[in-house]
Structure 1
Amino acid sequence: MSLKPVRPSGPAQHRTSCAVDAAAPAGVLYALVADTTHWPLFLPHALHVEPLDADGDRDRFCLWSAAPGEGGAVTSSRWRRSLDAGALRVGFHQEDPQAPFTSVSGRLGVSELAPGWSRLTLEQESTLSGARTAATERALAAAGRAARAALDGLRAAAERWTALDGLLMTFQDRVRVPGSGEQLLEFLYGVNSWPGRVPHVVRADVTEERPGVQRAALVRLNGDGCAYTTQSLRLCFPAAGRIVHKQIRPHPLLAAHTGEWSVLPDPGAGCTVVSRHSVLLDGRAVERVLGPGADPGSARRHVRELLGRESAAVLGPARQAAGEAARTLRSV
């Protein structure tokens, strides 16, 4: 990894060049850069990517991210990109830069170094408001750390390319609830009330740094009764009936884990709740967690069963809360 600040071209300009080399084909590395779908599983700071629109070789998306470091602030940003698959290059521009930045744009390019080896280079230009201050320098340093972490995450994913399909999983469960969608969403939002109500959750430490952004540390019980702790960041969108989460400290079998609760109104009475999970297995942990001889196939089955069972366990009391609310409304 190299990070080379370039001498400013003006009092308010800052340019950065950053690169990593990966033991992976250039096409594989470019594909990971171009497809934002799994960024939250590969990039440590990325929490959620919401596509906004796409038109051929152009796209827009909103990215929620947490600043590197324990307790880093959660922010959202909108990006516009142009993709050139032939040149293995992606240009980008931030639509809503935050102070002290007034503009952020740049390029990500992939080049082949040798068969099976490639380089990912980031070149970025930023315009700053006002004079360079200590606060400005901290913002530039934080942006540099985020850039290095992103490139390292993409490099690590690319170097697992031959096994990546077997390590990635996405699945969902759908349940119809004959009750109040608002009350069901309120139960899912109130994760601090789950101990004693959700069987596998024995403790929940929850802080809300601002409305809709939660940090939750949950002590959970495995199927064999052993306790483990997960830490997650939750993005709550009540008006849309959605709660998106990323586990910063996932299950010991997982390298990364994201998910979403969606509450969908039914045409008739009631609603449908969808629990969706995306995970990246930690191939090095399979035998350590599941025992000698375990392989990624058995790990996939174990994770699917475990997370499906945990989602069902949450929905039990959630259905009850929604049903009680519906009965109360009918009795008035």
Structure 2
Amino acid sequence: MAPQHAHFAQHTTPVAAPAHVVYGLLADAPNWPLLLPGYLHVERMDLAAAPGEATEEHLRTWHLHTGHVRSTRTRRLLRPADRAIDFEQSDTLLPGAPLRGTWTVRPQGPARCLLGLTHDPPAGTPAPDTRAEADQVAAAAERWESLDELLLSFEDSTRIHGPAEAVYDFLHRIQDWPELLPHVEHADVREDQPGIQFATLDTCATRTGTTLTTGLVRLCFPHAARIVYRHTTVPALIAAHSGEWYLEPEADGVRAVSAHRVMLRAEAAAALGPHAQLTDARRHVRAWLGRTGTETLNLARWHAENAVRRLR
């Protein structure tokens, strides 16, 4: 995808990580909300073989831009043999020519590489901040040696003998959670666009009894019975946290799931005490988030199953 316009921009930055690690981070777009600031959610719509050794994929991406949620559709051509990814990105709400660009990764030894990004925007449109995007990827990749220890994902579920609509309604009404959930003390919620909730929650930390204030953005998909979220402010132990509530139909009701994906801070263990290890921090976060998620699912079950009883 060659440059065509005067606003063409490019940036190259050295990265203290192997080339295959950096390319893998770029290729694994659904994982970006944990690793790159501003990304809320990325969904891979489809993936297909392309001519040669390339793979073509289509993504739907939600991200924060000047305090608002933007959604884009992206077509990418992944060329692993060249360690390059070409892309065309279009705003889902604004018609017009797509933003084109290319990521490249060039090895500079066993544990170093050069990361390049070019942007070729439509005529009359300024290029995004090419340097900032490349530097964010470089910063994430340079944690490669500790990522396996810092990343964790898990889910909890419960079976509910009630209608999916009632369960989803409970999970969607986050503004009512202070009256419904014991661990939620206060909630400020605004929904400027249908299905996009900005929330600030005060919750009780069971271990210390203190109040934690966190911010999050929630993307609500009622027809798919899903609510995807990413925290914008997080507790001291956590560097990034994204999650999802989703419902799976069953013969006599639904299976309701609370899923979490977390990246711990490198210094997370120190927050638990002088003798704590990172494994202790992992266990603590797993138990804490699992407990609050399960409590929410259990109360959603009570709400839905009692709604059924009232109708009988």
TM-score, with structure 1 as normaliser: 0.86
Conservation of the 8 A alpha-carbon contact between 2:87 and 2:102 = yes
In 1: Cα distance, 2:107 partner to 2:79 partner: 16
> Offset of 1:149 from its aligned partner?
4.1
Aligned to 2:56: 58
- Cα RMSD of the aligned pairs, angstroms, is 1.8
Aligned to 1:298: 280
> Offset of 1:97 from its aligned partner?
6.4
In 2: Cα distance, 1:261 partner to 1:100 partner: 32
Aligned to 1:195: 178
Conservation of the 8 A alpha-carbon contact between 2:268 and 2:278 = no
Aligned to 2:52: none
Conservation of the 8 A alpha-carbon contact between 1:97 and 1:103 = no
In 1: Cα distance, 2:91 partner to 2:64 partner: 17
Give the alignment of 1:267-278 within 5 angstroms.
267=251, 269-278=252-261
Pick one of 9, 12, 32 that aligns with 1:39: 32
> Offset of 1:37 from its aligned partner?
2.7
Conservation of the 8 A alpha-carbon contact between 1:81 and 1:91 = yes
In 1: Cα distance, 2:173 partner to 2:227 partner: 11
Per the alignment, in what secondary structure is the counterpart of residue 108 of structure 2? strand
Deviation readout 1:124-148 (Å, 9 max, x if unpaired): 11114xxx5xxx5xxx37x32xx44
In 1: Cα distance, 2:131 partner to 2:222 partner: 34
Aligned to 2:120: 125
5+ residue gaps, structure 1, are 1-7
Per the alignment, in what secondary structure is the counterpart of residue 219 of structure 1? strand
Conservation of the 8 A alpha-carbon contact between 1:92 and 1:107 = yes
In 1: Cα distance, 2:74 partner to 2:4 partner: 24
Conservation of the 8 A alpha-carbon contact between 2:258 and 2:297 = no
5+ residue gaps, structure 2, are 50-54
Aligned to 2:301: 319
Conservation of the 8 A alpha-carbon contact between 2:157 and 2:257 = yes
In 2: Cα distance, 1:179 partner to 1:100 partner: 42
Deviation readout 1:248-301 (Å, 9 max, x if unpaired): 11222111000000012212x2211011000111112320x2111222211111
Paired AA for residue 187 in structure 1: F
TM-score, with structure 2 as normaliser: 0.92
> Offset of 1:160 from its aligned partner?
1.1
In 2: Cα distance, 1:282 partner to 1:205 partner: 27
In 2: Cα distance, 1:154 partner to 1:290 partner: 29
Paired AA for residue 35 in structure 1: D
Per the alignment, in what secondary structure is the counterpart of residue 239 of structure 1? helix
Question: Would you say how many aligned residue pairs link Structure 1 and Structure 2?
Answer: 304
In 1: Cα distance, 2:39 partner to 2:220 partner: 16
Paired AA for residue 229 in structure 2: H
> Offset of 1:19 from its aligned partner?
2.7
Percent identity, aligned pairs only, is 40
Paired AA for residue 220 in structure 2: C
Give the alignment of 1:1-332 within 5 angstroms.
14-56=7-49, 57-67=55-65, 69=66, 72-96=67-91, 99=94, 102-128=97-123, 132=124, 140=126, 143-144=128-129, 147-224=130-207, 225-267=209-251, 269-287=252-270, 289-330=271-312
Aligned to 1:3: none
